[in-house]
Amino acid sequence: MKTNLFVSIFIAGAIICSCNSRSDNKTDNSSENFILQQPDGTLTLRLEKAVYYNNDDDPSGNTAEWNVTITKTGRYNVWLSSATRDTTDLNYTKDIKVNLQDSPLEASKEINRIVRNSNEVLHPYYQADSFMGSFFVQEPGEYYVQVISEKIVSEENGKESDNIRLMSVLLTPQTR
């Protein structure tokens, strides 16, 4: 009887330990895919860290997605950074769509500022930043950000002859 009790306790302990180690591994693996906020609250989402979905039939459906952890609540301005040769026109065919969870932003193809001597791009390109709008984050937590545009091109699929390429999305906290 004591042997059966000892064996049962041993098996129960082994099951509990194996379940705990599985859930710990799952959390560790999923946390590697999240982008964390910088101390000032900014989130920089670079295209090379995104998950891509390319649509060969309709490139305007190309999508980049990131998983982010937002620790500070409030309103965030959304900026797109592009590498371009033409500083007067971004040459996007369709509007760019940005989604935070299920909250959409859709904006036209305007250049709001040109960053001279940017370390992000090499000559003959310039960095062009476009303001998209803002999102309000009510609670800290894990979110996904999605951008849909024909100018989302992975490094492997990019062409030297392209005049413009989307580089990153910035979420910057609004200050009063």
Q: What is the 3-state secondary structure (H, E, C) of 8-35?
A: HHHHHHHHHHHHHHHHHHHHHHHHCCEE
Q: What is the pLDDT of residue 46?
A: 92
Say how far residue 7 (Cα) sits from the centre of its chain. 50
Task: Please give the structure tokens belonging to residue 48.
Answer: 């090379």
Q: What is the pLDDT of residue 74?
A: 94
The residue assigned the tokens 């299920």 is 102
Q: Is the pLDDT reported for residue 35 higher than 90?
A: no
Q: What is the pLDDT of residue 20?
A: 40
pLDDT in tens, 95-118: 889 999 889 988 766 778 888 778
Percent of the chain surpassing pLDDT 90 = 31
Tell me the C-alpha distance between 156 and 135, whole Å. Answer: 31
Q: Quick one: which H or E segment has residue 70?
A: strand 63-70
pLDDT in tens, 118-147: 888 888 888 889 899 999 999 999 999 999
Q: Cα–Cα distances in Å, from 7 out to 3, 10, 11?
A: 6, 5, 6
Q: Mean per-residue pLDDT for 44-65?
A: 88
- Domain edges within the chain: 1-32, 35-173
Tell me the C-alpha distance between 161 and 158, whole Å. Answer: 9
Q: What is the CATH number of domain 35-173?
A: 2.60.120.260
Q: What is the pLDDT of residue 159?
A: 53
Q: Is the pLDDT reported for residue 11 higher than 70?
A: no
Q: How many residues does the chain have?
A: 176
pTM score above 0.75: no
Task: Please give the structure tokens belonging to residue 57.
Answer: 């039939």
Say how far residue 71 (Cα) sits from the centre of its chain. 15
Strand partners, 170: 44, 79
